[in-house]
Amino acid sequence: MLGQAIFASIGFLTTRFGETMITHLKKLALALASASAVLMAGCGGGGGGAPQVTTATLSGVAATGAPFAGALVTAYDASGSALATTTTSITGRYTLDINSDAKAPLVVEAVRGDTTLVSAFAETRSTRLNITSLTNLVAALLASDGNPLSLRLDSRAVTTSNLEQRVADVVRILQPLRQGLADTINPLTGEFDANGSGHDRLLDAVQVDIRPAGETSNIELTVRVASAEPVKTSFGSDAQRPPALPRAIDTAKLPPVGIANMLDDMATRLTACFAVPFKDRVRGVSGGDSAVVGGADDVLAAACRTLFLGDDPGSFLSNGYRVGRNAANQGAFAGLFRAGATGAGFDQPQLQLLRENGDVVFSYRLTDSQGNISNDTLIAREVRGKLKLVGNRYAYEATVRPYAQDREFLNQPKANFISTGYDVYIANRLDSKGVPVFAKVQVTTPDGTVLVYRPTAGRAALVIERSDGRLTGTSVIRLAGKFKDAGTQASENLVQREVNLFFVQPLYSERQIVGLAEQGLWRLEFFHADAGKANVVQALRTLARAATLDELAATPIVQLTDAAKSELRAQTHALGAAFFGPVSANNPNVADLSAAGDKDFWTVPKGAQAPTSVTVFGTGPDPDGSGAQRPVAYDDAWGVSAAMRKVVVRCSKASDADNHCDSSTGVNQYAPGTSVHSIQLFAVQPRLAGIAKLVALYYLLPR
């Protein structure tokens, strides 16, 4: 624990009432009379009674295409005070009664999980008021800083004329799509149902991204269409006349009619599959088995088999894996073969994009039986009005996701910096002898830039190779970065200081990053170590673009606790790293990330995404003791749940050439002399963008 010698052999850290006609009464008497009227309401007696309080009714549909079911809807008055609340129905409908004397304008929010949709109205009267991704866009265009969530706090811009203008802007932006779908509904007040047809089909087809960036927000509107190139338009929230979609839309390439219902059905079916008892779900379970090895043919439950194309789990292929589980717990849907996965729940399915062949890429939230939550994606194909899982059909495991990092130097605060870009994760696949399968992977970015990734001994993923042949220590392509300290920013060159990272040259401007497509297309060509084996090409599309630095600075992020920081500083300030001591079978070298007294190691501020994994970075011991060889760099990652605030990370050997682990005592642990130079807390947002807090123990600037 942190209070001890953390890096020794025992392991490391680590209403007002209506106006009365009796105006001559004193204020006190008036108050008493009013209170008495309330207490006597409903009682018999002669004359008088409580003043009549009239109400205004707000009603409509909350939807993103799919009904925003189970969302908490709250109406706020001009002061930001809550007037009334209710919950949306399974169809996304809601009704709210508020006092008719509530001061306008009104702002209405629908909240479900991490998502909030906003709508607004300039008057206090009964009206239909929808709450959708489009009304959320209207709210962004009205908010002083472009953040829809700010509108409740400052709704002065919500006047009748401004509201009409911004609704007209949204209608004009979408006109090419509205024409194709013959949609004439007013997005704010029009009548529609969240059933996949009419205006709701337009909602299904449109992705609206609003990214707060300080004084304004960056906005991109993308049409989900089966095409190699996305149809999109981008603008700032302060744009006087936001640009419309650039071209007409082929409605035949839009998502299938009723896609939201199909996705809800898929989530229900997935949940039903994992509700099947373990012994009835797969073949080979006996006694107290917690897991079994098996393949697609061993899936017994019809509730599970019918999830897949042709009702055959064997038809599913993703990242080189078929449905099954091997002894190393590898395989697609390996959870089917584990008892612990029983009771997993799938919900909040959301269409993200369509592949060129029309296959549906959707995100979902998974909650396991212990209450742990994670976000991921699946790919399915529509077959006679139902979705069937097919996988990405790729041979190798690789992903491309936006990646933003806040890097804090505990021993040198002036070196703190933020950076943004893309993480191209290519799993370092090994053969039966522990040798890397790939010689290299050539990555072509959406703008045509070609980069080479290569395997290295201690890393779970391939890293970027520089133009001079030297390997970096990262898989992340950083587009931009800057020191947080203005003085440091003015005097130091970040790119030259962080030599193990990879920054593009020249760095991207904020405007250039805003111009990147949310759905960028990346090409990966795999070159095998066995030169006789043909290359394999895979095309990947992102779900979101990289954040700008301003967007990142405005984003809450996980932090280490003060206690953890203090103890880490005390133990690493001299050398800028921590080192493991001699191995021990009784007290093995592990990375115990907790504060003294087994207290929390990290904290999750309001609005921040909880981490899903923790990674320890460092180098192994000197290979031969001479100091002439460069130690092997390693990264050991450990999954954590949203509720966790501490974790123990154990050594994980990446290849035969990786020497940072030791098993000489019969217990796998960190080898003596192995160093730890940084710790990263990594979170995955619903659209799979990665955001990380890295705590660096080393020194970046001269001391």
pLDDT in tens, 111-144: 998 789 999 999 999 999 999 999 999 999 999 9
Residue 2 has pLDDT above 70, yes or no: no
Please tell me the number of Cα atoms within 13 Å of 387 on its side-chain side.
28
Residue 23 has pLDDT above 60, yes or no: no
Strands 360-367 and 345-354: antiparallel
Instruction: Count the helices and strands in the chain (H runs, E runs).
Output: 13, 38
Which among 569, 417, 420, 422 is positioned nearest to 497, based on CA atoms?
Answer: 417
Nearby residues of 222 by Cβ (< 8 Å), 6 or more positions away: 206, 207, 209, 230, 231, 232, 517, 518, 519
pLDDT at 253: 94
Residue 424 has pLDDT above 70, yes or no: yes
Residue 110 has pLDDT above 50, yes or no: yes
pLDDT band at 624 (very low <50, low <70, confident <90, very high): low
Residue 499 has pLDDT above 70, yes or no: yes
Domain residue extents for the chain? 57-244, 259-389, 420-544, 559-696
Mapping DSSP onto H, E and C, the string for 609-645 reads CCCCEEEEEEECCCCCCCCCCCCCEEEEEEECCCCCC
Residue-wise pLDDT tens digits, 57-93: 999 999 998 899 999 999 999 999 999 999 999 999 9
pLDDT at 36: 34
Which among 644, 662, 665 is positioned nearest to 652, based on CA atoms?
Answer: 662
pLDDT at 458: 79
Q: What is the mean pLDDT of the chain?
A: 89
Distance between start and end Cα atoms, the chain? 29
CATH superfamily of 57-244: Carboxypeptidase-like, regulatory domain (2.60.40.1120)
Helix axes 160-173, 133-142, angle to 10 degrees: 130
Separation between Cα atoms, residue 510 and residue 549, nearest integer Å: 7
pLDDT at 627: 60
pLDDT at 50: 55
Separation between Cα atoms, residue 522 and residue 596, nearest integer Å: 45
Residue ranges in 182-322 assigned as alpha helix (H)? 199-205, 259-275, 278-281, 302-305
Longest dimension (CA), the chain: 104
What's this model's pTM, rounded to 2 decimal places? Answer: 0.81
Which among 619, 621, 636 is positioned nearest to 680, based on CA atoms?
Answer: 636
Residue 671 has pLDDT above 60, yes or no: yes
Q: Which helix (H) or strand (E) holds 33?
A: helix 27-39
Instruction: Count CB atoms within 10 A of the CB of residue 97.
Output: 15
The answer for 551, left when phi > 0, alpha when psi is -120 to 50, beta otherwise, is alpha
What mean pLDDT is predicted for residues 458-471? Answer: 92
pLDDT at 53: 66
DSSP for 517-535 reads -SS-EEEEEEEESSTTSPP
Under a CB-based contact definition with an 8 Å cutoff, are residues 419 and 478 in contact?
yes
Residue ranges in 448-596 assigned as alpha helix (H)? 486-491, 494-497, 510-514, 549-553, 562-572
Q: Which residue has the tokens 């999954």?
A: 639
Which among 604, 694, 587 is positioned nearest to 643, based on CA atoms?
Answer: 604
pLDDT band at 371 (very low <50, low <70, confident <90, very high): confident
User: Counting every residue, how long is the chain?
Assistant: 703
Under a CB-based contact definition with an 8 Å cutoff, are residues 424 and 477 in contact?
yes
